[in-house]
Structure 1
Amino acid sequence: MSDNDELCFPQQFNISCKKPRVSWVSVLFLQFLLPIISVLTVVLNLLVIISISHFRQLHRANNFLLLSLAVADFLIGLVFIPGEMLKLTTCWFFGDHMCLLYSYILVVIICSSVGNIVLISVDRYVAICYPLQYHRRITITKIRICISLCWLYSAFYSITFVKDGLSLFATSCQGECVFFITYSAIVIDLFITFFAPISIIIFLYIRVFLVVVFQARAIRSHSTAPQQGPVTARKSELKAARTIGFIVLVFVICFCPYYGISLAGYVSQNVSITVLCIFCINSCLNPIIYAMFYPWFRKAIKHIVTFNILQPGSSKANIL
């Protein structure tokens, strides 16, 4: 095989990139595991989006936050995973402008995912620590505004982040989609999109955990009380807090390796692909967590797969 056969554009050998060489381990991940993750991520998060959007009983403030997170996870399965598979297994034939657009969309998705997790943590913090003031402080209108601001911030921040790397982007060879940024920009981005949000999330959940422990003891001590309504409501809030806490824990575990290799600089191809798989699995796991802990999601799936949502008045169905 000649050297030209290994180039993305053999007729432009002086500016063409070489075709990526993928080991058998990487092929196993890229051609078997990642496509499965991509399909599951798209399908499962689409079920979440349809469920919360369609059924009126689910039009609650905390569920709209889950809807926003599901949209971000859906885009990861639809755009991020196929794009990374393409970049790692073959040449990029869509040109520099599409690569720049792809890079911009990725930053928007990742920033919005982190922002949604922060909003979810704040919502659970208020619900557990200030239960009597929750419905006054957290309304559907306020949640919609916060979600809109989260996506708008992600969009504008991504423009700034991509613009800073635009001068270095042009130096890449043809047939490769690599977005170069300076190390200082990476550190700033890690602080803005990872360390600062994670610190807020951990702080809030430490407070929530302490309150949950206190309230759990109170519920056990009053389990035989004649008025069970408030106790049942508190149990529901505590269960929701534990579920969201599990989602946040999975998010942190899956995102840490992804951001870690950004600081590490160059790492082997196998390590990069493994970390990519861990990162993508997070978006697939969230709907599975909903199915495990939320009965309403299982009921909603049943209505969707049996096409009952096409019936008149199905949006008013009782699924809680």
Structure 2
Amino acid sequence: MYAIQIETFGGPEVLNYKAVPNPTPKAGEALIKLAASGINFIDVYHRTGRYPNNLPLIPGQEGAGVVEAVGEGVTEFKVGDRVAYTNVPGSYAEYAAVPASKLVPVPTGMDFRYAAAAMLQGMTAHYLCHTTYPVKEGDSVLVHAGAGGVGLLLIQMCKMLGAQVFTTVSTEEKAVLAKEAGADEVILYNSQDFEAEIKRLTGGVGVEVVYDAVGKTTFDKSLNSLKQFGYLVLYGASSGAVPPIDPIILMRGSYFLTRPTLGHYIADRTVLLSRAGDVLNWTQAGKLKLRVEHTYPLSQAAQAHIDLEGRATTGKLVLIPGS
């Protein structure tokens, strides 16, 4: 099969498209012929070595396709089943061997591109607003990077839960997308001070929660945008790592600071099936609008990473194996 393999950490140029041996499913695993593979910012961290891994490495954390074979002991899935998964490395490839416990069924008729695109970012948005800080009717929330893959889904889910949603974006074009997703107010962070805008929009009170995937450049102002007892949910660091802090700064408003990760929120299979079921079924029914605006042949994974890191894209990026 063909796959993207990393033999040394570095820039997009280390993403090598090459022939590698087909995986063989072990006990408890299924072999998936991948129809679509999702691209996520965590893939950049794996490529650069920020999140260390053993080399050589096939990157990618999510995919969707058809079960080609099953290993010993697999009873929940059979050959021909439509499935998707996330949090399993190796999806930048034509085939992947995946623990059956990580697979979820894909609704009949659903485009595999959308199934792959929905898994990591959709379930991330789901746990952020349903579990990490459960959004309530009437809450005010701030979502950074509102035109990104998670951001657009998080805006929609927060609106489903009855929140007033503020968001930050970099351009007027991205502001339109965030508005279409349901944001009540969009702040252009290149020309507006989002902390000052949040204080103005909330009458100086602040928001119940800030969902921050940007990190270094937004952290201080995100904290200052909270109301008393507010939650700063730091779930990414696209601008770089937040420097070490003295927890005493949380005394400003008896704030809560958390750095969640998806793996902990889908470790229980019942919870995984529930979260994935919500996201996939909402998407299939049109209740959740998922933007898959950028698809690339598997061989062009390096270009996809260049576009992702350059913030030249909106919504979700997907690789198409076999092309």
Specify which structure has the higher proportion of helix: 1
Q: TM-score, normalised by structure 1?
A: 0.26
With a CA cutoff of 8 Å and minimum separation of 6, indicate the structure with the bigger relative contact order: 1
Over alpha carbons, which structure has the higher Rg? 1
Specify which structure has the higher proportion of strand: 2
